[in-house]
Amino acid sequence: MTSLPGGLPKVVDVEKPSAARVYDYYLGGNCNFAADRELAKKVATALPGVNEVARINRAFLGRVVRYCVKAGIRQFLDIGSGVPTVGNVHEVAQQVEPRSRVVYVDNEPVAVAHSEMILEDVDLAEVVHADLRDPASILESPHTRALIDFDQPVAVLMVALLHFIPDSDRPLDVIAAYRDRMAPGSMLAISHVTDESLTEGMHRLVEYYASSTNPVTMRKHDQVKSLFSGLELVAPGLVWAPEWQPEDPTSVGPHPENSGIHAGVGLKT
């Protein structure tokens, strides 16, 4: 575990795995604890390609950010941003347009603490410690209000996030709270795991994550598509993650379904 200035946040439970820290481990990071690594290794026995799945999801995020910048969007709200790693949103966006503004949001204290450390000397990027299910705490945060103008197009990123929101938390209503604040020309990016491929392994993943702070809810293609209600899907629609606007068509491979991830971007018209 990488040390933080002032030590770990007091609210961190190092005995219970966290999705953000497990994902960090999948990506080869070191902001994780023994409990996170134990869960990640159990998942890897059921899904041997889980590290590649994480990298595919991260690559989708990068393509979405570049697409949005090229479409004229200059502000990003990355909810469920996780532990900072290679290819953070502000790095990708500001490489294309240095004036791009980014607000990261996570409810995991270690992810937030690391983000604060990474962003200490970064202009036009802030982090908010909040939960997706409390839209007001995000939309009305001083950091958000300072960097995001909701009268202008914004890219709202919910990448590898909504499968941690059970149906009982009414994800469609939660998303609507953000969509209603987004100006025309804004975009919503979603990636979501599914058990429509790698079925046995995905069912084991759900079983293992049940003991973490972030249990997983699997959804089928049409269920994920419904999360874009009120938006117009950008071509090529809701597809397997490697198929979403690949920079090199040969990188998709013969079995994009092995990503286990449905991914898409919705445009508010």
**Strand ranges for the chain from DSSP E:** 75-79, 101-106, 125-129, 155-159, 187-193, 232-233, 239-240, 261-267
Q: Which range has the worst mean pLDDT, 1-5, 119-123, 133-137? A: 1-5
Q: What pTM was estimated for this model as a whole? A: 0.94
User: Can you give the pLDDT at residue 110?
Assistant: 87
User: Can you give the pLDDT at residue 83?
Assistant: 87
User: Can you give the pLDDT at residue 2?
Assistant: 53
User: Can you give the pLDDT at residue 93?
Assistant: 97
User: Can you give the pLDDT at residue 1?
Assistant: 54
User: Can you give the pLDDT at residue 7?
Assistant: 53
**Strand ranges for 52-198 from DSSP E:** 75-79, 101-106, 125-129, 155-159, 187-193
Percent of residues, the chain, with pLDDT higher than 90: 85
pLDDT grade for 9, boundaries at 50, 70 and 90: low
Asked if residues 57 and 24 have their Cβ atoms less than 8 Å apart, the reply is no
User: Can you give the pLDDT at residue 11?
Assistant: 59
User: Can you give the pLDDT at residue 114?
Assistant: 87
Paired strand residues for 191: 159, 263
pLDDT higher than threshold 90 for residue 245 = yes
Q: Which range has the worst mean pLDDT, 30-39, 191-200, 260-269? A: 30-39
pLDDT grade for 30, boundaries at 50, 70 and 90: confident
pLDDT grade for 135, boundaries at 50, 70 and 90: very high
pLDDT higher than threshold 90 for residue 23 = yes
Q: How far, in Å, CA of 187 to CA of 253, rounded?
A: 27
CA nearest neighbour of 225 among 173, 267, 190, 176: 190
